Amino acid sequence: MIDCVHMCGIPRAVGRALCKQWPICLPVLAAFAILCLQHRERGLRLLIYYCAKCQRQNMRNVCDSCGKGLPGTAARYIWSDYRQPLADTVKLGALVRLPLMALALLITVMFVMEYIMTGAQAVTFLTNSGILPAMVQTFFSAVGVGLLILALQGKENVQYAMDPKGVLKRTWITPTRLNCLMRGIRYDKRAIQQNADGLPFLMAHEEYLVWQDARRYVLRPRAGRIKLYRPYAFVFMTLHIPREEYDGAAAMVAGKIKVKK
């Protein structure tokens, strides 16, 4: 958590619960509390064999319907992942990086302008004008607000399907006006579907990557993640994979993406 002592000069006195920096502390504490109240579930991965002739999924590499043997190219991985956006380290990383980069850019521009106008005094402008503490506050405020937005986005269910052509990633949410607002999508009653349990679901996001377009992949077995890049330096898709099924999915990615050396 943020230690307000260094930012507003309040001594760490017992009982001093209220802090002058409440715009920073409140969102961070609220987001943390929401994270603590909710737990993470993970869905099951399924290796299935798809018979194109019968258009059905089979558990074995023989079609239950027509009895035909199904080759390796008929194999598909389907799994789903339930998580809180707050528990997504990829999103949290971006939340810290983006304001950091924006503020670093802003400081650089201000310093250069000050240097052009006042020359060597630009250094004292940086150290004495109070601009740096203000930037630190702005940074933590931005992170705090970002955490709160993630916390209010609600649990998401990401469904993955890997087949010989590519990988499809669909994010479903339980639609409420608040969840939609926090994701910047429209609350559209006509787009809301019902799942098998009769609960409302809304597809918030859809990504599709053709294997041919992927230039590179990075495996993170410990974190249960695979990153796919298109082009070389640009992350196009992050896959979250249940640990026990990681190896199978990683082998399929490795077999599909030809890394150009």
Nearer to Zn ion, 51 or 173 (CB): 51
Q: Does 8 bind Zn ion (CB under 5 A)?
A: no
Total site size for Zn ion, rule CB under 5 A:
6
Using an 8 Å Cβ cutoff, are 177 and 213 in contact?
no
Q: Residue 190: count other Cβ atoms within 10 Å of its Cβ.
A: 5
Nearer to Zn ion, 42 or 56 (CB): 56
Q: Which two tokens stand for residue 254?
A: 């490795």
Least gap, CB of 66 to Zn ion (angstroms): 3
Least gap, CB of 53 to Zn ion (angstroms): 5
Between the alpha carbon of residue 229 and those of residues 73, 77, 213, the distances in Å are 23, 20, 9
Q: Does 95 bind Zn ion (CB under 5 A)?
A: no
Q: Does 195 bind Zn ion (CB under 5 A)?
A: no
Q: Residue 221: count other Cβ atoms within 10 Å of its Cβ.
A: 12
C-alpha dihedral (141, 143, 147, 149), degrees to nearest 10: 70
Residue among 4, 24, 28, 51 that touches Zn ion (CB under 5 A): 51
Least gap, CB of 216 to Zn ion (angstroms): 36
Least gap, CB of 51 to Zn ion (angstroms): 3
Q: Does 54 bind Zn ion (CB under 5 A)?
A: yes
Q: Which two tokens stand for residue 240?
A: 């979250």
